[in-house]
């Protein structure tokens, strides 16, 4: 399923709405939710990745803090990886799409903007 998406073999509508917009929305919301939960339960400042600078000795942190920290870092890295996948897949879809290159370029641009804002809102 993601192979078809990555190699540009699915339709522009499916690649844009189903994989890019919906996928970025769900993964971005999970990353944002984990950041909010980390901030509210542990009282950590997550702005600009100061989360690691707040307490450098991870071994002296309590277990709950370490678990929330791992959840946030994992969800954020998943979001970054999926954003890169979406941009690369939309580029391949743009190259394969034959009907309207302008429409395909607009979709590619919107996915790049959506990926940027998904990453930006999950940082803070």
pLDDT tens track for 1-56: 778 887 878 888 888 899 899 999 999 999 999 888 888 877 665 555 555 555 55
How sure is the predictor about 87, in pLDDT bands with cuts at 50, 70 and 90? very high
| pTM for this model (two decimals) | 0.81
Mean per-residue pLDDT over the chain, rounded: 83
How sure is the predictor about 58, in pLDDT bands with cuts at 50, 70 and 90? low
Q: How confident is the model over 76-102, as a mean pLDDT?
A: 91
Task: Provide the Cα torsion 34, 37, 38, 41; round to 10°.
Answer: -160
Which of the 8 DSSP states describes residue 7?
T
Contact, 51 vs 122, CB < 8 A? no
Structure-block tokens of residue 38: 């980390």
Output the pLDDT for position 117.
Answer: 93
Phi-psi region of 49 (alpha: psi -120 to 50; beta: other; left: phi over 0): left
What percent of the chain clears pLDDT 90, i.e. is strictly above it? Answer: 39
How sure is the predictor about 114, in pLDDT bands with cuts at 50, 70 and 90? very high
Output the pLDDT for position 122.
Answer: 86
Q: Give Cα 35 distance to the centre of its chain.
A: 13
Output the pLDDT for position 10.
Answer: 86
With 70 as the cut, is the pLDDT of residue 119 above it?
yes
Q: Minimal CA–CA distance to 69: which of 89, 80, 53, 85?
A: 53
């Amino acid at each position: 399923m993601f192979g078809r998406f990555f190699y540009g073999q699915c339709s522009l509508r499916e690649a844009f709405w189903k994989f890019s917009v919906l996928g970025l929305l769900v993964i971005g919301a999970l990353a944002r939710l984990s950041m909010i939960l980390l901030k509210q339960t542990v009282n950590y400042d997550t702005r600009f990745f100061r989360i690691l600078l707040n307490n450098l000795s991870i071994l002296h942190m309590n277990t709950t803090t370490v678990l929330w920290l791992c959840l946030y870092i994992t969800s954020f890295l998943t979001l970054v990886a999926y954003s890169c996948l979406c941009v690369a897949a939309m580029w391949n879809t743009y190259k394969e799409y034959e009907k309207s290159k302008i429409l395909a370029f607009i979709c590619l641009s919107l996915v790049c903007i959506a990926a940027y804002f998904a990453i930006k809102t999950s940082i803070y």
